[in-house]
Amino acid sequence: GQQLNQSPQSMFIQEGEDVSMNCTSSSIFNTWLWYKQDPGEGPVLLIALYKAGELTSNGRLTAQFGITRKDSFLNISASIPSDVGIYFCAGKSRSNYQLIWGAGTKLIIKP
Amino acid sequence: NAGVTQTPKFQVLKTGQSMTLQCAQDMNHEYMSWYRQDPGMGLRLIHYSVGAGITDQGEVPNGYNVSRSTTEDFPLRLLSAAPSQTSVYFCASIDPGRSDWAFFGQGTRLTVV
């Protein structure tokens, strides 16, 4: 079935550093979503993207819908301790209710 | 707003036991789904429903049953629990006609011994 490649799998960063992660797909999507999961909780939506080339920000987070419609990027600027968690990308095509999920990027901030 | 409510939050089962994980949403979403989350594997779709009375299999349906008698509720049944079903289970509802967002419950951490 469809798969999303999300990278990196994990990141160890210093507080204050910028973070970048991305997802690529073998298929075209009409919607890209980025979620964050805190320990012991369900994923929570961070940013939703609906148009190729779209660049959307949510505070220190910025996500882009790739021009090819097969990729998306999430950047976090000036990371802080509460940014730790697992970040998931998800894509959806117009013809299907189902979301296709990346395997997640685990963000760890070095003390 | 309650959103998506899952119960229980934690459960320990013995191999061969059966149980039902409950999921309810109050957003009137037609689409609901169950996922399992295992380390390093992201979210894998077990079953989903596009409306009351309609269910279908996802990526990993074996060992699980679902039903959808109302728009609000979408229970997941484990027929005969196996250690391989030790996982964290998430229920989600989606409003595909408006935003495509998936709203998740807090999860059920299941251990099968």
The predicted pLDDT at position A99 comes to 86
Q: What is the pLDDT of residue B97?
A: 66
Residue-wise pLDDT for B45-88, tens only, equals: 999 999 999 999 998 999 999 999 999 999 999 999 999 999 99
Question: pLDDT, tens digit, for every residue of B4-25?
Answer: 999 999 999 999 999 999 999 9
Amino acid letter, residue A57: S
Chain B residues inside the 8 Å CB shell of A48: 99-101
User: What are A27-51's pLDDT values in tens digits?
Assistant: 899 999 999 999 889 999 999 999 9
Question: Which residues, 6+ apart, have CB-to-CB distance to B91 below 8 Å?
Answer: B4, B6, B21, B23, B25, B32, B33, B34, B35, B74, B76, B104, B105
Flag if B42 and A99 touch (Cβ within 8 Å).
Answer: no
Distance from CA of B21 to the nearest CA of A (A): 15
Which amino acid, one-letter code, is at A77?
Answer: S
Instruction: Look at B42 and A88 and tell me if their CB atoms are within 8 Å.
Output: yes
Q: Is B74 touching A (CB cutoff 8 A)?
A: no
The pLDDT of residue A110 is above 90: no
Chain B residues touching A94 at Cβ < 8 A = none
d(CA A37, CA A83): 10
CA distance B66 to A59: 39
Q: Flag whether pLDDT at A96 surpasses 90.
A: no
CB contact under 8 A, A48 and B99: yes
Q: Check whether A1 has a pLDDT greater than 60.
A: no
Q: B101 vs A48: CB contact, 8 Å cut-off? A: yes
Give the Cα separation of A100 and B35 in Å (integer). 12
Q: What is the pLDDT of residue B83?
A: 97
Express each pLDDT in B37-46 by its tens digit: 998 778 999 9
Query: Residue B90: what pLDDT?
Result: 96
Has residue B100 got a pLDDT over 80? Answer: no
Residue tagged 């469809």 (tokens): A2
Shortest distance between the Cα of B102 and any Cα of chain A, in A, equals: 8
- Mean pLDDT lowest among A47-51, A94-98, B100-104, B106-110: A94-98
Does B89 touch chain A if contact means CB atoms closer than 8 Å? Answer: no
Least confident span in B31-35, B36-40, B109-113: B36-40
Report whether pLDDT(B101) > 90. no
- Chain A residues within an 8 Å CB radius of B48: 97-98
Q: What is the pLDDT of residue A51?
A: 93
Residue of B55, B23, B25, B59 whose CA lies nearest to B44: B59
Q: Check A40 against B106: CB less than 8 A apart.
A: yes
Chain A environment of B101 (Cβ under 8 Å):
33, 45, 48
